Structure 1
């Protein structure tokens, strides 16, 4: 059989419009899922397509390892993508076009690149030591109700024996400068991610005429609560992942690291320069007001007013955060969860992390591999419920100055073809050696 190029595979996946508009509205993942299942079948891997609803498709397969005594590893990626407005793009977003050394299209880095790398690894004649469970899931770009969270709830048996999982947002090269001017290639591997809590605040008061004084105005109560929340300065709280990132990155760059106080941590992050930007969102919790809804007529004071707040919470800090948040609400204001997915924390020092670092250094001997915490969220929040240690490891080699973090969900999303091939070599090595 002819050698399979990961770039062609990724281009094929990009050409399937799997747009997820949110709220259950989506183009659907079915055609992409059929492509994946058929491809795996060509290489002797039997795959199942599972759908909670028509066209919302997930693919799950298991590749037996040579040593059945070892715990299994889950390798999971999502097939859906966020919307793309074609008029804003330099190329049609679902063209899968190769231009100037890059593969362009929605999903090129989020995350059809990783899905293609997994398929390319299988096509190379992959012989893993341990069982590999492959999951290509739906609905990650919304709530996961048709994808990972549904699979965990309804088909947990498919992941039996999985002790760890890998997926998006880690293992890519990040070019930074050391204190002596040396160029250093960091490869951050995600060993944690902040939890997501979307809250609805409801302020209740006394309805009345807009021309009359009203000390129980629901809107005023709500605005006061939002102001207190927005102005609250959350303290620095160092999780094991963030502490390890600061210490190891500082050592690699020759930068003094002082973690003795919140101010000292802020100063350390600033001294790390561009490397510090990786950790800025994850030294603190965050509470960001994002939506407001109140009133129905300008001369009527309503009895209720609502708002939504995006809360991101570090591992081990949930109870404290919500206790403080409740104290900021004030009279007549209550909260409820719109969505709640707890934080993820995997071991920083583990054989899994060591194997990832080893695979990266085998392709790039100068790689500096460090743990980091993701500020947002992934489907790891679903699979961690099954007791897995979940890591972000989707390796890529990126050229210096490439705006990788602006690619996901951005205009003109693209991935370097050489970096994609590099990632495939690293991933294949990891899957065979871990």
Structure 2
């Protein structure tokens, strides 16, 4: 399969975008969250019905994208799913013509027919999501083989007694589902190594395997230098370089970042470093609350989750796709809002699917249902169902903001990037729903 050509490094920002969000169509950046397209979802429990959505959002048809026709994505059948809204369908509509039919298989109407069975697991009733086809099993197997070889042989990411947990995480299935337009397995591996390394850090520094809020700031700072290297004097450089091999999180970060920067432009690499700093800041806020036994207000928790979330994953969708979204387009406040909403919605998906797993762990583990129950004096069931509503509101805002941005600034690389972020959102839900090794739903229905 041919590798994609080099990405353009110059800006492709249209001249009209100089005044974007100030004059255009009489609408400012604040208008980008207003639309809430009507997406049907499964009926919610009678005790707390989900709110109905207003009339569908309208956006013009987008032009075809200049993407490689050689990208191979297997044809499979989607599970039964709600129809996407017209606005989101317009965003996600891919190129047409010979060789392009399978490029965007992550939506119900785009996927062709030949799958054997529905995915494992059950989606959360009433949760707004878009089912995806089963990812290519050949690519899944190859990514799974390569990521385990990297984790075991290259960086010693986990001890032998963690092997079952590593296998149960199903990283290959996760990343192939989230990046359906990755040109090659090598491109999928860029995201897979970064995901594996970040999860190792979370486990070892914060969570299940010896993590603690005590001293977390120092550990995170030193690990972050594996992503954002220290520039110091010759006397102290060797000690820092040696420290990058001293524990699994730093070994993983260092190696995954080395692979990443080989494919990423300097701008893409700096973007990722910035988003990882956001993530680490979120870790520190949660750790501070744990040390003081503080249960945040719901809005405070959501603020923390905007930082401690999946944002670094969809923000590299262009690198994994083999192209580059120019930095000036990525920096547009409207796109930053779309990316933030995508990260927020996907992270609440994690809160909801991991709810029973976290309740079974020792101590109080903050997640959105727990915080809502505590702060709004609701039963566990009603708090969980309200958290589903919060997720759905975030999804409506994400889809409306993406449709609005695509309509106002239809740059081809931006449209492809929006499709990539939407595919990541869908793939993330797919992985949570189907990972029955890790997750099970509460008995609230």
The two structures have a TM-score, normalised by structure 2, of 0.29
- Greater percentage in helix: 2
Query: Rg: which structure is higher?
Result: 1
